[in-house]
Structure 1
Amino acid sequence: METHYASSPLEHAIHSPAHQGAIAVVEDPFIQKYLRDVLVRHGYRVMGAYAERVIQLLQSEDDEIDLVITNRPGDFVAFADRVALLYLAAAPDLELASLFPACRVLKKPFQPEHLLAAIRDLIGSV
């Protein structure tokens, strides 16, 4: 697998060696790099993808995405019943977050241990 860095808001599918499903990260480049560094340090592999690709994967019959980490949850409302969501925002829209049965909100800034705990909690809920 090849790791790609993008200069625009980027999206990455992250596969955990201990988990069959994937995590799709949709964030701005600075936050994405931070998330990637934390997740790689904890055993996750990162493969490049764009938002359109993440949506295509969610639409496919053989999608492997169990969790979306994003600051743009509105992009994924159509998949709210099929995928867990970790919503990262300084001022989250809690009404929008409530559309996702399996959702956690992390207010920016957050600590790595809170990120990892939320991921473990959400992956276990799907």
Structure 2
Amino acid sequence: MAQRKDMRRDDLIVPYSPPKNEKEDVDMQSTMASTLPMAAIFTRNKLIGWTSVLFAIQAWLSETPASKASSTTPAIMSFGMAMMGVGVAYLPLFLPPAAGGVGQATPAGAAAPQAA
């Protein structure tokens, strides 16, 4: 077999350089501080609500001027959302649901209304 000539030219080689990130990497702490309050509101879970408060306080205390400039929402807003999540979780204690509402059983002494 005849050897083939290498047609590649050394002067056309371009070294690889990784692309520069235009945006900073996603901060997982602020992501958790913003999504946990929503989970607490939807599920009315007190444990998730208090966990979101802890994450929000930690994000608020570790906020730097550089992170303030690059973030879309301030950490104080995450703290406010976390407190709202805890408030929604404890809402049935202060505003109990009405008896006999949709999907609720009637009290034992009261008879269910009958259709005529």
For the aligned pair, the TM-score class normalised by the smaller chain equals under 0.3
Structure number having the greater strand percentage: 1
Higher normalized contact order (CA 8 Å, seq sep 6+, divided by chain length): 2
**Greater Rg, structure 1 or structure 2?**
2
